[in-house]
Every structure is written in C-alpha cells, then in structure tokens.
Amino acid sequence: MIRKVRPEDFEELLNIEAEAFPKSQYDLGQFWLLYENYPNTFLVEVSDLIDGYIVFSLDGHLISTAVRSERRRTGIGSRLVQEAIAHCAGKPLCLEVRVGNVGAQEFYLALGFNLIGRAKGYYHDGEDALLMERPAEGRAKES
C-alpha cells in the first residue's frame, strides 16, 4: 500500500536511507523539512514494514527515492515512481543521479527516463550528477 508519510515513519526511513545513500543520507531534520514542504508528495510503500519512499514536487522534480535493500527488485521502486508519474500527469519528470549509481540509472532507463545531461560536481563530495528526464505522459490535472 502506498500512502503519505507520517512522522512516526521517520525512524524506519532513516535506516533505509543509511543503507541506500551512505555518502549523503538525509537526517531526521531533513525528513521533517521534506514532510513540511511536500505534504502530499512524500509517499511511502508499506507492508509489515516501511519498504520504501519517494519525494517529488508537483512541477515534476523527483527529489529522492529509496527501497529497503532486502526488498529491492520486487517492483516497489517502480510502483513509487509510477505514483509520481500519475501525480505529475502532463508534465515531464526530471531527476539527478550520481554518475557512479549505475543500478539506479538502469532503473530509471527501464522506467522510460532518458539521459539529457551532466552536472559537474553536483554533489557535496564533488561527484557529478547525470540529469535524466521522462517525457510528459497523460493530460495535466485541472487545478
């Protein structure tokens, strides 16, 4: 089941985050900020545990996503991104991914994203980002 995040989820999310992004994980304060800034588009996939999360903005920027390591390759990440695609109907979706994160790049390519550029030294440790974009799908939602 996919639902909006709740503050009581943060502890589990911190564990997912630590194994997913050892070089640049979010801390508790950053999860609170994301929760406040993206109240409707910070989502979690839940079974007996929190299996993964995604945060995106409605203008089509995918901010972060991660899946619990032992539950990867079971379609959870794809479901979360499909949720973002549905929320951002009619707009392209864009994201940044570390050049060294080849697994995530394969994941996004499988979901219809294209490589559109590179941002030099984008991450705080100096690693470059690849910029990826998925063309708009569906009609924009009435505001």
Ligand X SMILES: CC(C)(COP(=O)(O)OP(=O)(O)OC[C@H]1O[C@@H](n2cnc3c(N)ncnc32)[C@H](O)[C@@H]1OP(=O)(O)O)[C@@H](O)C(=O)NCCC(=O)NCCS
Positions that interact with ligand X (CB under 6 A): 20, 65-67, 72-78, 97, 101, 103-104, 106-107, 110
**For residues 58 and 111, which CB has a smaller minimum distance to ligand X in the complex?**
111
Q: With beta carbons less than 8 A apart as the criterion, state whether 130 and 96 touch.
A: yes
Smallest gap, in angstroms, from Cβ of residue 31 to ligand X? 15
Cα dist. 10→43, 52, 107 in Å?
A: 12, 11, 25
Q: Which residues pair with 52 in a beta bridge?
A: 45, 67
Between 70 and 142, name the residue whose CB sits nearer to ligand X: 70
What is the nearest approach in angstroms of ligand X to the Cβ of residue 42? 15
In 1-143 the beta strands, taken as DSSP E runs, fall at 2-4, 42-46, 50-57, 61-67, 93-98, 114-119, 129-134
For the bound state, the minimum distance from the C-beta of residue 142 to ligand X, rounded and expressed in Å, comes to: 30
Q: Cβ-closest residue to ligand X?
A: 77
User: Would you say 10 or 26 has its CB closer to ligand X?
Assistant: 26
Comparison of 56 and 107: residue with beta carbon closer to ligand X: 107
The answer to whether 84 touches 91, Cβ cutoff 8 Å, is no
What is the H or E stretch that residue 29 is in?
A: helix 28-37
Cβ-contact 118, 131 below 8 angstroms: yes
Which is nearer to ligand X, 35 or 123 (by Cβ)? 123
Give the nearest distance from C-beta 139 to ligand X in angstroms. 25
**Closest CB 15 distance from ligand X, rounded Å:** 12
